[in-house]
Amino acid sequence: MSDTEIVERLKGDLGARALEIANPDRRRIFLKVAPADLVAAVTLLRDRYDCAFLSTISGLDAGEAFEVLYHFASPVTTIHVRTATPRSDPRLPSICAVIPGAVLYEREIQEMFGIVVDGIPDGRRLNLPDDWPDGVFPMRKDWKHVRPEEVIPGGKP
């Protein structure tokens, strides 16, 4: 099945829910949906397009909104599902019920961008240290790293 056929099928299956479909390169299909339609779209991709393999989830701080991309791969193509959530109230539904392997990526998105993932089976921190302050999300553009002063236990004051 070629990319153009998949794009046509996606248009037919998703209808108005597909906000945007692009095919900029061979085996690269970018599909945009609203957060509310995300789980339905992912289920459809898994069941009808053989896209059960989630490579990763990338987040991006685009100013007013956070863009999130779900990178899926099937044996013939890759489909990248894009969705956006406003910075003032960043919320996304969890897709773990459909793709159980997504949990680590959702945890990463949650701690790095502060996007609340509704219904995540395991919402603990993944990468950040336990004493990391709440409400600070390092991958947001407004966060800048300041090297903290080193305190050596038992060292000179």
Binding residues for other proteins, rule: CB under 8 A, are 24-25, 27-28, 52-56, 58-61, 69, 71, 73, 75-76, 78, 80, 99-105, 125-129, 138-139, 145, 150, 152, 155-156
When the beta carbons of 17 and 80 are compared against other proteins, the nearer one is: 80
Please, what is the minimum distance in Å from the beta carbon of residue 18 to other proteins? 18
When the beta carbons of 12 and 129 are compared against other proteins, the nearer one is: 129
Cα–Cα distance, 83 to 134 (Å, whole number):
25
Please, what is the minimum distance in Å from the beta carbon of residue 42 to other proteins? 13
Give exposure, 37-68, as e/b (b: 16+ Cβ within 10 Å).
bbbebbebbbeebebeebeebebebeeeebbb
Residue 120 and residue 57 in contact, taking contact as beta carbons nearer than 8 Å: no
Please, what is the minimum distance in Å from the beta carbon of residue 3 to other proteins? 12
- Helix and strand counts by DSSP (H, E) for the chain: 3, 7
